[in-house]
Amino acid sequence: MIFAQIFDTINNGLLVIDREMTVKYWNRWMAMHSGIAADEIVGTSLFSYFPELDQPHFRRNCKSVLQFGNFCYFSQRLHKYLFPMSAPGSLADSFDHMQQSCSMGPLRNKDNKVEMLYISVQDVTEVVSYQKKLVIMNHTDQLTGVYNRNYMEPHLVKEIERCRRYDHNMSLLMIDVDLFKIINDNYGHPCGDYALKTICERITSNIRKSDSLIRYGGDEFCIIMPETSEKDAYKVAETIRKSISDHPFTFADMTFNTTISIGVATLDQSTDDVESMLKKADEALYSAKQSGRNSVT
């Protein structure tokens, strides 16, 4: 009596299936979130309502529970969900489906033989949503909204590895704002912040979605450009340079001009890891500065 009430009132999906995959019990949580009433599904095959579950992987886990009496787990990390349902409330905007953590275990008869198995379904959408936000926060520069250095290193390692494996082009731009300190000194820090934000906006509108802009340090930026030859990278760098130097900046009622210098490095025989790529881009940037700033090297 008490347990029957718990079965229907607990804030978890619970269902019981027999050895033939016929649904025996289906709690209210499952009914509410799947839109399938218990009296519809009980007595029919689970796979008739959820054909996507009929896969070797799911069947293997069911068999092991029925045979060995062990428990199986379907993590959100791998599966995202077992039962397609919509995410609750406002989370539905960012998730196509409710994210679920599911487990499965044996139910025994009087002789201790495993006769049926239960599946429990836990809604973890909210937790996953927080995790996603944390990951984004951890990879984002607070001021400009572009990627930060936490993001750069592992991303660069992966891109270099991928482009080397498939023998594809890849370039890296290192960007420094010329005489940025003077903007801060002359117009104040809020204006310096504005300049950095505007520079990022102008750069972003001149690169592809597959390129990633990273705030490397105070006024230093870096762009990882997959599938980009040295020639193409140079072209993009020129466009970016002009987008900064050719249009004045306006903050409050102050108008000023600024310029950037860019160093270009491209993946090749001698430049084939993170360290050598960064070093080459840095050296190129240094010569751009030496040659009088507002230039690409």
64 makes contact with other proteins (CB under 8 A): yes
Candidates 38, 42, 50, 79; binder of other proteins (CB under 8 A) is 79
80 makes contact with other proteins (CB under 8 A): yes
Nearest distance in Å: CB 142, other proteins: 26
226 makes contact with other proteins (CB under 8 A): no
Nearest distance in Å: CB 155, other proteins: 13
Choice between 72 and 267, CB closer to other proteins? 72
108 makes contact with other proteins (CB under 8 A): yes
Nearest distance in Å: CB 101, other proteins: 9
Nearest distance in Å: CB 209, other proteins: 19
Choice between 68 and 130, CB closer to other proteins? 68
187 makes contact with other proteins (CB under 8 A): no
CA atoms within 13 A on the CB side of 191: 19
Choice between 80 and 168, CB closer to other proteins? 80
Judged by the rule CB under 8 A, the positions of this chain that interact with other proteins are: 55-57, 60-61, 63-64, 67-73, 75, 77-80, 103, 105, 108, 112
